Amino acid sequence: MSLLDSGAVYQDVTVYPQEKVTDEDGNPRTKPSSTGVAAKARFQPLMQSGTSARLQESDNEGFESQEVYSMRFPRGVFENLGPQSEIEWGLTAQGLPQRWAVFGFPARRNNSPATAHVSYQVERR
C-alpha cells in the first residue's frame, strides 16, 4: 500500500484513453477513444506561470480562463495514458460532465516504494 493512497479522496471520472486510428488518407494518428472507462482519480490544482497567465488574459481578453490540475490514479491504474487522452470530471452549470484533456506525458515519481506514483496534467476543454 502506498502512503499516497491511504486516506486520499478519489473522485469518479470517465477516462477516454488515447487510441491509434488511420485517417481517410491512410495516415496513422491518435485520438481519444470513443468508449470511456470508469475510474477513480485524485486532483490537485496547479499554479500557472506568470507568462501563462498573461498570455491567457491577452489572447482572450479575460473571457475565457484556463484551469490546470494534477491528476493521479491509484497505483497500477492508467500508468500510460497518452497526450491525446481525455477525461470527464466535474459538472458544468447545466449539469453536464466537463471534458478535460490530458496535457503532455505522464510524470513518474519513483523516490521510494512507499511514495512512487504517476501523475498527469489535465486542462479543461
CATH number of 11-124: 2.40.10
- Which residues does the chain have with pLDDT short of 50? none
pLDDT at residue number 54: 56
Strands 11-16 and 68-72, by their bridges, are unpaired
Q: Are 87 and 102 in contact (CB under 8 A)?
A: yes
pLDDT at residue number 6: 62
Cα 25 from Cα 107, distance rounded (Å): 34
Cα 22 from Cα 78, distance rounded (Å): 24
Q: Are 63 and 72 in contact (CB under 8 A)?
A: no
pLDDT at residue number 90: 86
Q: Are 123 and 100 in contact (CB under 8 A)?
A: yes
pLDDT at residue number 80: 86
pLDDT at residue number 7: 62
What pLDDT, in 10s, does the model give residues 23-41? 999 999 999 999 999 999 9
